[in-house]
Chains A and B, each alone.
Chain A
Amino acid sequence: MIDNYYVERTAQAVFTVFAVASLSFGLIRLMPGGPIDFIRAQMIQEQGTDVDMQRINSMVESYTNVRPSDPLYVQYVDYMTELLQGNMGVSMWYNEPVSEILAEALPWTVFVMAISLALTFAIGITLGAVMAYIEGSRFDVSTTLVSTFLNSIPYYVMAVLLVYLLGYQLSWFPTGGRFASDVTIGMNIEFLANAFHHAFLPIVSVVVTGFGIQALAMRGNSIRVLGEDYIRVARLRGLPPHDIALRYVGRNAILPMYTGMMISIGFLFGGSVILEEIFTYPGIGYYMFRGIESRDYPLMMGAFLLITVAVVIGIYIADLTYGKIDPRAGTGSGDREAY
C-alpha cells in the first residue's frame, strides 16, 4: 500500500501543476481585458487604428506563447508544450525571457522563506513545549497572551513598522536589495553576512508574527499527549525523563504540526508578493508585483505559476517525509462507498 501512496501523491502533485497551468492559459486567453486585448490596444494607441492585424498576432505570440489565429485547442497544446520546455514568454517590461528573470530571483525567495519557516517552527515548538510543561504558570499565561497578540498582527504591518523604524529612522538595516553592490559575490563570509543583513528584516517580520500560532498549537498537542495513558506507563516503567520528553511527548506532539507546516509553505511563498515589495527585495514575489504594476502579464503569470510550482514541490517533499516519520500515514480510512 505504501507504494500506492507515493504513486498517488506524485500523480496529485503533477496534476496540480497541470491544472494551474491550464488555469493560467484560460486566464490569459479568455478573460476580457487580458494581455491580448492589452497588447492590441497598446499598438492601436501607438500606431493609429490601421495597424496590421498580423503584426499584433505575432507580437502577442512572442510575448505570451499564444497564437491568437489558431483554434483554441492548438493554442492550448502549444502553450503547454512551451511551458514544459521552460518557456514562459517574454516580459514586456524588462524585454527579457520571463524564465530567465524568475530563475535568477527564485533562489533568493527560497533562501528567505526557508530560514523563516525553520525559525518559526523552531521557536514555536520549543516555546510550546516549555509552556505545556509548566502549564498554568505565570510564564505560560503571559506567553499565551503575547503569542496570541503577535499572531493578530499581519506580517506586512510588522514589515512596514520594521522597515520604518530600523530601516529608515535608525538606518540599522538596508531598506531594499539582496546585497550591497560593493561586495564580491561568492561564498565568502563578507558576502554571506551582507546577504543575511539584507534578509534579516523580512525574516523577522514573518517569524515574529508567525511563531505564536505554532507555539499555541504545540502547547495544545503537548498537553494532550501528556495526559495520555502511555506517558503514565512510561513513567511507571522508570524511563529517564528526557527520554519520555523527547521520544514520547515530543515526537507525538510534533507530528500533527506537519499539517501546519504544509499550510505555512503556501502561506509564506504566497505572502512573498507583499513582503518582497515592502522590502524591495528582488525575489519572485517582487517580480510578480512588478508584473502587475506594469501590466506585464507574461511576467505576472510566470511568477504565479512558479510560486505555485514551488509550493507544490515544498508540500510534496513535506508529505513524503511525513510518510517516513509517521508509519500510520497513507492508510486513509473512509474510502469505501457508502449509503
Chain B
Amino acid sequence: MKPTDEPDRTVPDGGSVTEEIDAPFETVSEGTMSRGERYQMTLQEWVVAPVQIIWSDWRARVGSFIILLYVLMGTVGVWLVEPSRTAEGPRLLAPFQNWAFPLGTDTQGNDLFAQIVHATPPMLEMIVAGAVFATVMATLVGTFSGYKGGSADRLLMTVTDILMTVPGLPLTIVLAVILQPRSPWVVGIILTVNAWAGLARAIRSQVLTYREEDFVEASRLMGISTSTILLKDILPGLMPYILVNFVNSARTVIFSSVGLYFLGILPFSQANWGVMMNFAYNSGGALYTLSAIHWLLAPMITIVILSFGLILFSQGTDRLFNPQVRARHTSSPEAENEEEDLNVESDANIRISQ
C-alpha cells in the first residue's frame, strides 16, 4: 500500500508537522509506534481490510464459499469418503436413488461421488502449481522489465510477445505428448507454460505508471537498492492485481487439464474429472442412451461450479483495486461501501480470463 493513499492519516512516519513550528525541517515526530502497534497496523492493512472488502461483496462471498468447499473436499473429504472400487454397487445406478452412491454409479459399478472427491487433491495440486508458476513468472518478468526499462525491457518483452502469440493449447499438447507428465505439479506447470506472458505484459504497464510516483522517486534518491524498491514500494500496489490473475490462471489450468484428460492426451493412473468424462463419452455408450447421462454430467457440473466460483471470486476481489475502498476499510471497518464505479470491471479481469 502506498503512503499517498492515506492523506488524512497522522500516524507518525516523520511527515506530520505541527503548525507553530516555523522551520519545518527541524520537526520531530509527535509520537512513536511500538512494535506491537506496527504489527497490528500491518495486520489491519493486509489481512483484515482485504477480507472485509471481499466479504462485503456477495460475488466474492459466494466465490470464496465455493472455493472453500472444493478445498475441503480435497483435504477432509478424501478422509471421509471411501475410494471407489469396481463393482461396489449396481451398474449405472441413477443419482439420488441410493445414498450409499449419491451421484449414482458408472457401468463398472464405481461410485461416481467417490471418484469425484478422490480426483480433487491432484486437481488442487495442479491448480496451485500452475497458478503459482504463472503468477511468479509474470510478476518477476513484469516488474523487472517495467522498472528497469531500456534494452532489458525490450528483450524481455519481445520474448513475452512471442509467447503470447503462440497458441497455448497446442503448445501444451505437444509438450504433454513428448514429456508424458504424471505428477500433477509438472502437469500444472506445462499447462501454464505460456499463460504467464499476457499477465507479465499487464504487470509491466502497471509498473510503468508506478515507477514515476513520488514515493518511488524518493526511495531512489535515498539510495535504496532496486530489489528493495521493487519489493517494498512497487509490489504492494500490484498485489490485488496479482491476486485476481492468480485466480484466473487457476481457471485456465482447470479448463485445459480437464480438456486434455478428456481427450486422453495426458497420461493418467487414477480417475479424474476429465478421465471420467472421457470414459462416459467414449466407452459407456452414454451418447446413445439417456440412462448414462449422469455419468457424463457429474464431472461436468463439478467443473462448472468450481469455475463459476473462481470467476465470482475474481470479480468480487476486483474491488481491492479501488484504493478508496481500501483506505476506508483500513481506517474504519464499519464504513459503508456502495460505490458507483465498482461496477466497472477492471481490465485485469477481462484480459486473462480466457
Chain A residues with a Cβ under 8 A of chain B: 12-13, 15-16, 19-20, 24, 27, 31, 33-34, 135-136, 148-149, 151-154, 156-157, 160-161, 163-164, 168-169, 210, 213, 216-217, 219-220, 223-224, 227, 256, 259-260, 263-264, 266-267, 269-271, 273-274, 277, 288-289, 292, 300-301, 303-304, 307-308, 311-312, 315, 333-339
Q: Are A31 and B165 in contact (CB under 8 A)?
A: no
From the candidates B177, B300, B350, name the one contacting A260 in the complex (CB within 8 A): B350
13 contacts between A and B (CB under 8 A): A154-B258, A154-B304, A164-B293, A216-B345, A217-B350, A267-B168, A270-B168, A271-B169, A273-B169, A273-B170, A292-B265, A304-B170, A338-B149
Residues of A near B296 (CB, < 8 A) are: 160, 164
Q: Judge if B50 is at the interface, Cβ distance under 8 Å.
A: no
- B211 interfacial by beta-carbon distance below 8 Å: yes
Decide: B311 and A151 in contact? CB cutoff 8 A.
yes
Q: Considering residues A16, A315, A334, A335, which has the most beta carbons from chain B within 10 angstroms of its beta carbon?
A: A334
Which residues on the A side are within 8 Å of B178 (C-beta)? Answer: 27, 31, 33-34
Nearest CB of chain B from residue A34's CB, rounded to whole Å = 7
**Which of B211, B288, B303, B347 is in CB contact (< 8 Å) with A154?**
B303
Given A20-B166, A312-B165: A338 and B150 within 8 A (CB)? yes
Q: Are A223 and B150 interface neighbours, CB within 8 A?
A: no
Across the interface, do B165 and A266 meet the contact criterion of CB distance under 8 Å?
yes
Range, interface on chain B = 35 or more
Q: Is the CB of A160 within 8 A of B281?
A: yes
Closest to B290 in A: A169
Residue of B277, B303, B353 most packed against chain A (CB within 10 A):
B353
Whether A292 touches B167, Cβ cut-off 8 Å, given contacts A152-B307, A217-B350, is no
How far apart sit A277 and B341, CA to CA, in the bound complex (Å)?
43
Interface residue? B255 (CB, 8 A): yes
**Residues of B contacting A223 with CB < 8 Å?**
341, 343-344
**Proximity string of chain B (258-270) to chain A, C-beta cutoff 8 Å, 1 when within and 0 when not:** 1100110100000
Of residues A27, A151, A154, A335, which shows the largest number of chain B Cβ atoms within 10 Å of its Cβ? A154
B352's closest neighbor in chain A, by CB? Answer: A263
Contacts of A227 in B (CB 8 A): 341
Please, which residue of chain B has its CB at the minimum distance from the CB of A312?
B165
Q: A220: which of B173, B174, B208, B345 is its contact (CB, 8 Å)? A: B345
Which 6 A/B pairs are nearest by Cβ-Cβ distance? A337-B150, A270-B167, A270-B169, A220-B345, A152-B308, A338-B149
Instruction: Note all chain B residues with C-beta closer than 8 A to A303.
Output: 170
Evaluate contact between B347 and A224: CB separation under 8 angstroms. no
B312 contacts the other chain (Cβ, under 8 Å)?
yes
Residues of B within 8 A of A264 (CB): 354
Select one of A300, A308, A338 contacting B148, CB under 8 A.
Answer: A338
Q: Which of A263, A288, A303 has the most CB of B within 10 A?
A: A263
Among A13, A168, A217, contact of B287 (Cβ-Cβ < 8 Å): A168
> Which residues on the A side are within 8 Å of B149 (C-beta)?
334-339
B226 to chain A: which residues have CB within 8 Å? 339
CB closest chain-A residue, reference B176 = A292
What B residues does A256 contact at CB under 8 A? Answer: 347
- Bound-state CA distance A308–B345 (Å) is 31
Say yes or no: is B82 at the interface (Cβ < 8 Å to chain A).
no
Distance, CA A153 to CA B307, complexed state (A): 7
Q: For B171, give the chain A residue with the smallest CB separation.
A: A304
Distance (whole angstroms) from the CB of B247 to the closest CB of chain A:
12
B158: CB under 8 A from chain A?
A: yes
Please count the residue pairs between chain A and chain B whose beta carbons lie under 8 angstroms apart in the complex: 163
Instruction: Collect the chain B residues with CB atoms within 8 Å of residue A12's CB.
Output: 158, 161-162
Closest residue of chain B to A217 (Cβ to Cβ) is: B350
Q: Which residue of B150, B167, B174 contacts A27 across the interface (Cβ within 8 Å)?
A: B174
User: How distant is the Cα of A24 from the Cα of B170 in the complex, in angstroms?
Assistant: 12
A260 to B, closest residue via Cβ: B350
- A residues in contact with B154, CB < 8 Å: 335
Residues of chain B in range 145-187 having any CB-CB distance to chain A below 8 Å: 146-151, 153-154, 158, 161-162, 164-171, 173-174, 177-180
Instruction: Please indicate the chain B residues that have their CB under 8 angstroms from the CB of A308 in the complex.
Output: 165-167, 170
Q: Which residues of B contact A273 (CB under 8 A)?
A: 169-170, 173, 263
Does B351 have its Cβ within 8 Å of any Cβ on chain A? yes
**A257 to B: closest C-beta gap in Å:** 9
Instruction: For the complex formed, measure the closest distance between the CB of A25 and the CB atoms of chain B, giving whole angstroms.
Output: 12
User: Shortest distance in angstroms between B229's beta carbon and chain A's nearest beta carbon?
Assistant: 9
Bound CA span A20–B180, Å: 21
Specify which of B164, B262, B354 lies most central, judged by the most chain A CB atoms within 10 Å of its CB: B354
CA distance A219 to B226 in the complex (A): 39
Expressed in whole angstroms, the minimum distance between the Cβ of A254 and any Cβ of chain B is: 14
> Measured between C-beta atoms, what is the minimum distance from A304 to chain B in Å?
5
Contact B263 A259 (CB under 8 A): no
Please tell me if the beta carbons of A157 and B300 are within 8 angstroms of each other in the complex. Answer: yes
Cβ contact within 8 Å between B167 and A267: yes
The answer to whether B315 has its CB under 8 Å from any CB of chain A is: yes
A153 to B305, CA, bound (A): 9
Q: Which of chain A's residues have a CB closer than 8 A to the CB of B165? A: 13, 16, 266, 308, 311-312, 315
How many Å lie between the Cα of A165 and that of B300 in the bound state?
Answer: 15
B220 at the interface (CB under 8 A from A): yes
For A334, the chain B residues whose CB sits under 8 A away are: 146, 149, 153, 205, 208
Q: What residues on B are CB-neighbors of A213 within 8 Å?
A: 350, 353-354
